[in-house]
Structure formats: C-alpha cells, structure tokens
C-alpha cells in the first residue's frame, strides 16, 4: 500500500523531487569539470575577465565556471537556476596563508621517500585550479551546495601514493572536514584509520586530550607513519598505534576501553564509505559512553537521504505491496515526511544499519 498525501502536499513532494534532480545534476557537472578540466580557468582568463567586467576574482571564477560547465543562463531557465542556486554560491577563493599556518603544515616535514609500492611526496594545486574544499552545505529546502575552492598561488600538500595513485593527502578539504571532530575531542580519543596522521596530530596537541589511540590494519602504512611522521609529533607520548581491523576492535576491545570520543575515517569517498558508515553506526551501542564522529558524515547522510526519498517516491506512485514502507508513514503529511529526511532522524536510522 502506498503513501497517501493531499493534493497540496503531493505538489510539494514533486517540487522536492525537482530539487533532488538538480542536486544530482550539479554534482554531475562539477564532477565532469574536476575530472576533465580542473585547470580550465587560468590566471590570464581571470585577469582579462576582471579587467573587462570590473569584478573581483571570485566572481570572475564563478562566471568562467558556468561557461565551462556549458550552462546557457541567458536562454535556458533551468541552466540559470543551476548557476544562480548552486554554482554561484559554491565557489570560494581561499587564502593559502590560512592553510600554510595550520600547525600540521607548519611543524611537520614529509620526506620524499619510496617504500615498496608506496611513496611519500608533495603534490600541488596550481593557481586557479578548482577542487572540492569542504562538505556540502544543505539549505532549508534540501538544496545541497557543493563547496569548490581555488587559490591564486601555487599550493603544495603532503600525499601518500600507492602505485602512483593518490591514496591519502592532507588538502584543504581534509583540514576543513575534520575540524569539527578535532574541536570536540577531549579525554581519551580513538581514531579508526591512520592516513598521514593529521587528525591524530591535531588532537594530540590539545591539552584537553589525554591519549590518542590509532586503529590501522595496514602494516605498511603504520611503518611509514612510525618512521617518518610520528617522531615529529611534540605530543607523541600520547599516541598509541594498534594494528587491527576497525570493526573487530570496535566489537571486542573498544567497549572495555571507555573512550570519550571516536573518530572514524575509513573511506575515500561516499560510495565506498556508505556501507562502512552503516556498519560502524550499528556498533555504537556497544560503547555507549563514547561519542562517535565520522569523516564527511553530511555527505554520507545525503546519500542516505535520497535513498529514503526514492523509497517514498515509489510508495507514492504505486500500490505495490512489495514496497516496504512503515505503516506509520502511510498517513503522514508532507511536513512529517520531510522530518524523516533531516540529519537528526537519518543518524538514528543509520544506527539500525538501514
């Protein structure tokens, strides 16, 4: 049996479906741009545009990005909506000095070394190269605004390569998306996933943090970290590294350790992270005294939001008895349904592994 909405509420729901489609469309546009031509905007293009139009660099970059994405804002209403509602607010010019003065960048020196198939090195963004710089921003209408940044100077960042493929890097995106979890951490902290040790370094420097336990399965990653990075930590005496599977540790050892905070960073992106996120969320109940924090959780919840929304769409458009919708949903109003699409409810749903 399907969900039954009033005519007015059904129209609201259809409008939400249009927003969802535009969310997906803008992600597709930006993904293509970042993959195929992230250096389309050059210093020359920016300077010429600024001189001709009398606008600052950030605004010039926005207009050039709109052109590069193939949007016809003069004659196409939908293209204009995508540009005004998504691309324009998405772009930010970043100050490279703000990141260069980050304690990790300032105090740690990553050597250029090879270790079997692995390599430690510095990568770089060239001036006006576009990149993802933070989590999506969700507005009250469920529009999801990607965050795209650029620098006006070259910017170098440490990276770990495996077979010449980037495995981990400390870019502005990593700095921004870990900031809240760093600020909240106090007491005894456990972090799942090592990488280049950015999170471990930043929380170990906090006087309010007593200890940092790192759970990492890969012995090569641990060896690289212990040899080249950990010795540079001023607070290395706080740090303990345990080679273990994250989920096995969360089940069998973590409950007796009584950590205050856990930070989970076991994935590269939403696609590989979503099932791992759900798996760890189910294990939170084993450590009720621990506050769990997750890397790029807003993006993971976005993935969950639209999966649930698709289920609601199916329930609205069919009487198919195989569509599994809780009985309580059947007579919901639109306002009640969208409460189920907001992050607080989704976090609770994730704990059930849905």
Condensed to tens digits (0 to 9), the pLDDT of residues 288-326 reads 999 999 999 999 999 999 999 988 888 777 655 554 555
Are residue 85 and residue 11 in the same domain, yes or no? yes
Domain finish residue from 54, 89, 124:
89
Q: What pLDDT does residue 127 have?
A: 98
Domain finish residue from 169, 186, 216:
169
Q: What pLDDT does residue 319 have?
A: 55
Summary mean pLDDT of the chain: 93
Are residue 62 and residue 120 in the same domain, yes or no? no
Number of domains present in the structure of the chain: 2
Q: What pLDDT does residue 171 have?
A: 98
Q: What is the pLDDT of residues 8-44, one digit of tens each?
A: 888 888 999 999 999 999 999 999 999 999 999 999 9
pLDDT over 50 (residue 261)? yes
238 within domain boundaries: no
207 within domain boundaries: no
181 within domain boundaries: no
Q: What is the widest separation between alpha-carbon atoms in the chain?
A: 65
198 within domain boundaries: no
Are residue 18 and residue 74 in the same domain, yes or no? yes
15 within domain boundaries: yes
Question: How large is the average pLDDT for residues 69-92?
Answer: 97
Are residue 44 and residue 100 in the same domain, yes or no? no
Domain finish residue from 125, 142, 169:
169
102 within domain boundaries: yes
In terms of pLDDT, which residue wins out, 333 or 53? 53
- Kindly indicate the confidence band of residue 100, based on its pLDDT and cuts at 50, 70 and 90: very high
- Kindly indicate the confidence band of residue 331, based on its pLDDT and cuts at 50, 70 and 90: low
Instruction: Print the domain residue range for 65.
Output: 7-89
Are residue 65 and residue 136 in the same domain, yes or no? no
Are residue 138 and residue 73 in the same domain, yes or no? no
13 within domain boundaries: yes
């Amino acid at each position: 049996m399907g969900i039954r909405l009033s005519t007015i509420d059904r129209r609201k729901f259809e409008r939400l479906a249009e927003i969802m489609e535009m969310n997906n469309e803008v992600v597709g546009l930006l993904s293509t741009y970042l993959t195929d031509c992230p250096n389309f905007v050059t210093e020359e293009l920016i300077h010429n545009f600024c001189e001709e139009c009398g606008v600052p660099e950030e605004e010039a970059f926005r207009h050039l990005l709109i052109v590069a994405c193939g949007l016809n804002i003069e004659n196409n209403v939908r293209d204009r909506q995508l540009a005004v509602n998504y691309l324009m607010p998405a772009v930010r010019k970043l100050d490279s000095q703000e990141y260069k003065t980050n304690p990790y960048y300032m105090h740690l020196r990553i050597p250029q070394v090879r270790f079997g198939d692995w390599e430690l090195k510095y990568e770089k963004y060239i001036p006006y190269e576009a990149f993802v710089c933070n989590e999506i921003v969700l507005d009250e209408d469920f529009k999801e605004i990607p965050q795209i940044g650029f620098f006006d100077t070259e910017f170098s960042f440490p990276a770990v390569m495996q077979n010449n493929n980037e495995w981990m890097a400390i870019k502005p995106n990593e700095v921004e998306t870990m900031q809240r979890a760093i600020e909240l951490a106090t007491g005894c902290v456990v972090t799942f996933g090592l990488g280049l040790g950015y999170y471990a370094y930043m929380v170990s420097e906090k006087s309010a943090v007593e200890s940092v336990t790192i759970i990492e399965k890969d012995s090569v990653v641990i060896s690289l970290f212990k040899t080249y990075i950990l010795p540079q930590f001023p607070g290395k005496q706080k740090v303990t590294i345990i080679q273990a599977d994250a989920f096995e540790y969360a089940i069998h050892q973590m409950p007796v350790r009584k950590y205050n905070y856990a930070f989970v960073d076991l994935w590269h992106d939403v696609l590989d992270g979503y099932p791992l996120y759900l798996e760890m969320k189910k294990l939170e109940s084993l450590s009720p005294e621990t506050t769990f924090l997750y890397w790029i959780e807003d993006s993971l919840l976005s993935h969950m939001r639209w999966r649930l929304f698709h289920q609601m769409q199916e329930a609205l458009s069919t009487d198919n008895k195989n569509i599994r919708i809780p009985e309580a949903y059947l007579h919901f109003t639109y306002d009640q349904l969208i409460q189920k699409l907001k992050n607080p409810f989704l976090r609770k749903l994730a704990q059930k592994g849905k």
